[in-house]
Amino acid sequence: MRFGSTDTHFQLPNGEILEVPPGSAHYLEHKLFEGREEKVFDRFGRLGAEFNGGTSFRSTNYHFTTTNHYLSCLEVLLDFVQHPEITEERVEKERGIIEQEVRMYADHPGFFGTFLLHQALYHRHGIRIEPGGSVEDVRRIQASELQACFEGFYRPRAMRLALAGDFDPEQILSHLAPLLDAPDLPIAEKIYPLEPSHPAADWLEKPFAVTRPHVWMGWREPYGLANGYARLRQRVLSSLVLDLAFDPASATHEKLYRDGEIDDSFQAYWSSDEDWGHVVVSGVCDDAKTFAKSVADAAAHFVDQGLHEEDFLRLKRAAWGGLVSGLQTPAALANSILNAMLEKVPPFATLDVLGEIEFADVLARAQEMFHPERQAVAVLTPAT
Amino acid sequence: MAFLQTIPELRQPAPGVELLCLPEPRFKRAQLSLGFEMPMDKKRAARTLLAEVLSQGSASYPSRLKLTQALQDLYGASCSIYADRAAEYHRFSLQLGWVGDRFLPAEEMVQPRLFGLARGLLDQPKRGANGSPFDVETMERERSALLKRVRERKDDRPSYAEERFLAQMCAGEPYGLLAWDSEDALHELSADQLEVARLDLLASAPITAIVVGPCDVDLVETWLADWFSTRGEVRSLPPIQHPPVGKLREFREELPMEQAQFHYGFRYAQPESPRSFEALGLACAILGGGAHGRLFRVVREEKSLAYGIYAMLRARKGLMTVAAGIDAEAYQQVRAEVENQLLDLQQNGPTAEEMEFAIVNRLDRLRALADSGSRLANYHLREHQLGFKRTPAFRAADLQSLSPQEVATAAQSLVADSVYLLAPGKNQNPAAASTPS
């Protein structure tokens, strides 16, 4: 469903403009599992299926896996995501459960630090806030707000469905049509704050119950590339550059590791959606400032120290193997297809894009990724 | 979708080496796991550090950079070495993964090249100067990194709580020991001690290997035979301890944190037959096996005391443990609920609906084994270690014929041993108290 945690401000089809608390999309996900007459847990449970949901920044996903009751499970899925019963009593009942979920993450330095980095990188963007919101947010969410979210976004036109398994597609399609509500129901218009193109802060730190400093460094793009092929290509290129720069097969990584500046907690990855994109480099270290300086220097100079086409070709081979291996199970296949649909690219397009990318493309991308003025650092410091 | 009706072919390529073969060409990636099991003896500190040192390269690939580059060349093949505790044994593992040939250019020969690389890591380490068995700089760096990780493990509160719970519940048993022994033991290790540990592992550790996926199992067997055929007699491992249960013990510790971690441990005598073990597994599932479990329904859904609460069997040791993240103030309530629900299951057995839900869920999982190489490998390795060697079809037949009385009888074998809470101390997690906004 194209409705996620950052979608807190929107105009309903009737013209009314609403702003709901952070965490509303996640709360709504919980409420949908309540079902109407019978809990979704019981309906799937009777069929032996495994099921779950997840709220991310721009979408909320629901999934099941089953070996024997495909059509029945599909009926349950399409029923509960379209026909919830959201009452004050039901919303109140879930509050304690969601509070515990939010508090579970509050002890997780990796989770907490990632969002501290988002706060440093962005001024107003919704990804500054955890998908579940804070405990205080959870305590003020009302049933009427969740109902408005549901009516604004949980419509077939905002829904994407991916299926993988041993079934007859024609049978599935004929079974699907009567399970979907009227497809022409309008959906709400999302309203996003204007986001400046530079980081909100170059350095943020908070005390946390950790033994050594945990550091997250980010370099943001000035703007997003929207969904589609261009963003997919940027994602693949960025990942290849990060591998060239910081993978254990890189000279940079070897030097930092040998000097004791980084350890096995060190990682680098690319994160993006339609209106944001940034590099994250993180690790646990003895001294945050030394770590940040070493990594920033390495990012600034790894291109000058010589990138070789043979390294690039080797990384492409490894990336190919990783992508193929990632499609091992039916669940992984369905997930890959769903993500492609949400990103508005064909399924498995990543493999094609990887094949098309040339060394010169990576060199060009490497030159633009690590601008110092787009850098921010977040640090969790050991609490005394 | 049918249940798989076969067990892995068991080969014995060398003394003390058992190879379980699951050549499944439908998977995209093959995986091979070698587990060297040793007692939880004093040498475990050396084996733990050894795993870290050997992971840094070999004589042929003398740095982590060279090693990683070689793996990337093999289309993202993986090779990892680590040491941990498995049941009451110290397990030193070598794990390999590679993409199946049908996804690679015709001339590529990934499997034999990866096998050569992996053997070299254990057989031909990068040596140090002046006859030292290991490069001193590498060893000191890895020792330092390992010590830091050991000290930092409490940063992961849920994992640390589980470790502390098991250490206290199983104090005096190998199950309660740390895989690396202690910081002092790690500090004192010499390169010579690591070399002794390495040679000891290769010469005398019982090895269980399992390979699954698109691979040449004959090549795996030949590789293992060539590597280990000159071994002498391998070590026999001590039996797993099952001490009698005394009075229920209660432990509480504190750390700065936001959410308390609750653990409850029960012991059971090893079931006499695979069928009674199946009944015990079903009892555990009915109590806390997921969204259909009693504890989930009562503690989470009815009382909103936890986001999740689950029970699991630690089958080789003979424990059932229950875990949840809760408010410290809800401790007595959650504890009482665990006790009440288990007592009810023991006395009255499961309801018809509970039986239906738990059985159909487990049947689905058994069928789904055919879709995942890693799950299939884990399933058969566990069966092998428990000595049952049941096919999924055999287990399914047992499951479908179990009665509620058999489940109640199995539940009666569970005896409460220890309950543990890691609770927020006086200084709550300082950042959690001011969540980013």
Whether the domain at A9-190 and the domain at A203-382 fall into the same CATH topology: yes
Please give the model's pTM, rounded to 2 decimal places: 0.95
Indicate if the pLDDT at residue B436 is higher than 50: no
Domain count, chain B: 2
Residue B436 and residue A328: Cβ atoms within 8 Å? Answer: no
The CATH number of whichever domain residue B366 belongs to comes to 3.30.830.10
Q: In chain A, where are the structural domains located?
A: 9-190, 203-382
Span B217-226, average pLDDT: 97
**Are B217 and B289 part of one and the same domain?**
no
- Helices B136-152 and B191-204, axial angle in degrees (round to 10): 80
Residues A74-94 have pLDDT tens digits of: 999 999 999 999 999 999 999
What is the number of alpha carbons within 13 Å of residue B8 lying toward its C-beta? 29
Bridge partners, B424 (sequence order): B255
A:B CB pairs within 8 Å = 191
Could you tell me if B72 and B199 lie in one domain? yes
B426 found inside a domain:
yes
pLDDT of the residue at B437: 35
Check residue B141 and give its pLDDT.
Answer: 96
Residue B342 has pLDDT above 70, yes or no: yes
Kindly state the DSSP code that residue A247 receives in the 8-state scheme.
S
Cβ–Cβ below 8 Å for A212 and B257: no
**Within-domain flag for B238:** no
Find the residue in B nearest to A256 (Cα): B65
Residues A73, A47 contacting (CB under 8 angstroms): yes
Mean pLDDT of B380-395: 94
Residues in chain A closer than 8 A to B291 (CB atoms)? 41, 44-45, 51
- Taking an 8 Å cut-off on Cβ atoms, the answer to whether A318 and B72 are in contact is yes
pLDDT tens track for A166-181: 889 999 989 988 998 8
**Residue B111, phi then psi, degrees to nearest 5:** -60, -50
- For A244-256, the pLDDT digits (tens) are 999 999 999 999 9
Structure confidence at residue B435 as a pLDDT band (50, 70, 90): very low
Instruction: Please give the residue of chain A at the shortest CA–CA distance from B104.
Output: A321
Rounded CA separation A59/B187 (Å):
49
Residues of B in contact with A267 (CB under 8 A): none
Structure confidence by residue, pLDDT tens digits, A98-138: 999 999 999 999 999 999 999 999 999 999 999 999 999 99
Interface contact flag, A383 B256, Cβ < 8 Å = yes
Among candidates A41, A68, A208 on the partner chain, residue whose Cβ is nearest the Cβ of B364: A68
Mean pLDDT of B120-124: 97
Nearest by CB to B155, which of A103, A211, A327?
A211
- A43 SS3 class: helix
Amino acid at position B279, single letter: A
Minimum-distance CB partner of B258 among A107, A116, A249 = A107
For residue B142, is it within any domain? yes
Check residue B416 and give its pLDDT: 98
- Distance from the Cα of B145 to chain A's closest Cα (Å) equals 7
With CB atoms and an 8 Å threshold, state whether B152 touches A284.
Answer: yes
Closest Cα in chain B, distance from residue A186 (Å)? 32
Q: Do A96 and B305 touch (CB under 8 A)?
A: yes
pLDDT at residue B432 is higher than 60:
no
| Inter-residue contact B50 to B198 (CB < 8 Å) | yes
Residues B61 and B208 in one domain: yes
Q: Note the CATH number of domain A9-190.
A: 3.30.830.10
Q: Are residues B255 and B202 in the same domain?
A: no
pLDDT tops 60 at residue B108? yes
Record: contact B437-A49, CB cut-off 8 A? no
Q: What is the pLDDT of residue B430?
A: 59
Rounded distance, CA A119 to CA A22, Å? 15
DSSP string for residues in B107-159: T--HHHHHHHHHHHHHHSBPP-GGG-SS-HHHHHHHHHHHHHHHHHGGGSHHH
Tens of pLDDT along A22-79? 999 999 999 999 999 999 999 999 999 999 999 999 999 999 999 989 999 999 999 9
Is there a contact between A208 and B373 if contact means CB atoms under 8 Å apart?
A: no
d(CA A150, CA A118): 27
What residues have CB less than 8 Å from A234, skipping those under 6 apart? Answer: A225, A272, A277, A365
What is the side-by-side strand order in the sheet with B415-424? B249-255, B415-424, B260-267, B319-326, B306-314
Asked if A244 and A312 touch (Cβ cutoff 8 Å), the reply is yes
Does B244 map to a domain?
Answer: no
Closest to A222 (Cα-Cα) out of A14, A10, A374, A25: A374
pLDDT at B428: 64
B396 has pLDDT over 50:
yes
State how far residue B36 is from chain A, nearest Cα, in angstroms. Answer: 24
Contact B76 A322 (CB under 8 A): yes
Any idea how long chain A is?
384
Predicted ipTM beyond 0.90? yes
Q: Is residue B148 part of a domain?
A: yes
Question: Which residue among A41, A97, A129 places its CB closest to the CB of B437?
Answer: A129
Domain ranges, residue B357: 249-434
My answer on whether B197 and B274 are in the same domain is no
CB contact under 8 A, B68 and A249: yes
Nearest to B1 among A68, A128, A264 (CB): A68
What is the model's pLDDT at position A384?
Answer: 73
**Is residue B329 scored above 60 in pLDDT?**
yes
Q: Do A319 and B76 touch (CB under 8 A)?
A: yes
3-state secondary structure of A55: strand
| pLDDT tens-digit readout, B39-93 | 999 999 999 999 999 999 999 999 999 999 999 999 999 999 999 999 999 999 9
Tokens read off for B291? 């969204």
Rounded mean pLDDT of chain B? 95
pLDDT digits (tens, 9 = 90+) for A195-204: 999 999 999 9
- Report residue A7 as tokens: 């979608």
Residue B88 Cα, gap to closest chain A Cα (Å): 27
φ and ψ at A335, to 5 degrees? -65, -40
Assigned CATH for A203-382: 3.30.830.10
Q: Provide mean pLDDT across the span B319-339.
A: 98
Q: Residue B242 falls within a domain, yes or no?
A: no
Domain boundary among B197, B228, B259: B228
Give yes or no: residues B203 and B277 share one domain.
no
d(CA A78, CA B122): 53
| Other C-beta atoms lying within 10 Å of the C-beta of residue B171 | 12
pLDDT band at B185 (very low <50, low <70, confident <90, very high): very high
